[in-house]
Amino acid sequence: MAQNITKGFKEILGAAMKAVPAISVDEALELVDSDDHVFVDLRDGNEQEASGRIPGAIASSRGLMEFHIDPESPAHKPAFNQDKTYVFYCASGGRSALAAQVAMDMGLSPVVNMSGGFGAWKKAGGPSE
């Protein structure tokens, strides 16, 4: 028997987009050298290797993010234990919105989603490494 999906990705993504504060690429460009902000790249390693990432960004693939955030996890990344604003991004902004909502549910705060993701960053001429 076929599955009966009761909530589709559009509904889940729409809820995340409403729940997570967003910033534009132009706003994010002004924050790249800020000591008060941490950029978090939610794309997988292959994506990062192929196109680079925002200088200084934490690499935390969407599949491992919860483990990186939780200080009780053996995979914890100390960069998630700072009094800073976390700027989440992915390729286009969808995965990062979903991830940001989960991070907020875990207690990470403040968290924002960069609208348009790394694609918009590159298009705007943002630096990458």
pLDDT tens digit string along 80-120? 999 999 999 999 999 999 999 999 999 999 999 999 999 99
Mean pLDDT over residues 60-75, rounded? Answer: 97
pTM for this model (two decimals) = 0.94
| Beta bridge partners of residue 112, listed in sequence order | 87
**Tens-place pLDDT, residues 30-60:** 999 999 999 999 999 999 999 999 999 999 9
In the predicted model, is pLDDT for residue 1 greater than 90? no
Residue in the block written with tokens 């706003």: 27
C-alpha distances (whole Å) from 67 to each of 25, 55, 90 are 27, 23, 18
Q: Would you state the structure tokens that stand for residue 13, as one six-digit string?
A: 């993504």
Q: Which CATH superfamily is domain 19-123 in?
A: Rhodanese-like domain (3.40.250.10)
The pLDDT value recorded for residue 129 is: 93
Residue 55: its pLDDT value, please?
96
